[in-house]
Structure 1
């Protein structure tokens, strides 16, 4: 269920207040957008630290929260990796950072809270075989992963395992 459905008496100001309370408590919040076609999740609040927000597509809610929270914590302490850089997680997951071409098309709540200058980097994940979504063999039989911006210049067109 969505927050609005769970709180029909509340308005959008109440929703923003709830999100902002989470940002104040932790430094960021994660918002998951349910969709049959393309679920995605993103951080809200890293912009206030001078960092791009983080976004992930085509991952479950639990996986999105796990990866975004770990990456946001890393970024707060160390800065955000540049587009084309990789990050590995303790469970063996690899992501490549991609600059989101149009953050205002996907990060509606963050843009509403902090303005159109919000930037974002997508955590593009490799499948269980180490293949990336720009590879034809990516995630056979599983969900496709939309990539919301171009890869960094100089990246190979397909660096599949």
Structure 2
């Protein structure tokens, strides 16, 4: 759990998020990794446009923020990807889109602002050798990118 989630002034934090979304259109909430739990991040605010929020796990918070901000800008300029879509990023990284099974459980602050019925898509990426996290040899068996939904067609 993150500090803000446990903060006794949680309602004040939620209001700051609401104000930030009103000012900028969306925000990225990053959660640092701890122990066996890898870092992850998600957008807050796309739900206000009737779009799914975006999530990424296993990346350092700054890298996740860049990916999510770039992706949110693309989604707002065009349309969201669909579960099962594969997207190539500049530099050759490949993403697969996975719909979250229970977004309201994982995206606590987005659910606080928009309700537990929010939708979310995870941007799942390959490792340096092009392997997906559902492969046994992903990152040579080290894991580190939890997938928060079921792949389209699985």
More helix by share: 2
Where do 5+ consecutive residues of structure 1 fail to align? Answer: 156-161
Q: How many residues align?
A: 149
Q: Output the TM-score relative to the length of structure 2.
A: 0.88
Q: Displacement, 1:58?
A: 1.0
Q: Displacement, 1:14?
A: 2.2
1:119 maps onto 2:113 in alignment: no
1:32 maps onto 2:30 in alignment: yes
Match of 1:44 in 2: 44
Tell me which structure has the larger Cα radius of gyration: 1
C-alpha RMSD of the superposition? 1.9
Does the residue aligned with 2:70 lie in a helix, a strand or coil?
helix
Q: Output the TM-score relative to the length of structure 1.
A: 0.84
1:40-119 matches, within 5 Å, as 40-119=40-119
Match of 1:144 in 2: 144
1:15-26 matches, within 5 Å, as 15-26=13-24
Where do 5+ consecutive residues of structure 2 fail to align? Answer: none
The worse-fitting range, judged by mean Cα deviation, of 122-131 and 35-44 is 35-44
- The structure 1 segments of at least 4 consecutive aligned residues displaced by more than 4 Å after TM superposition are none
Q: Displacement, 1:144?
A: 2.3
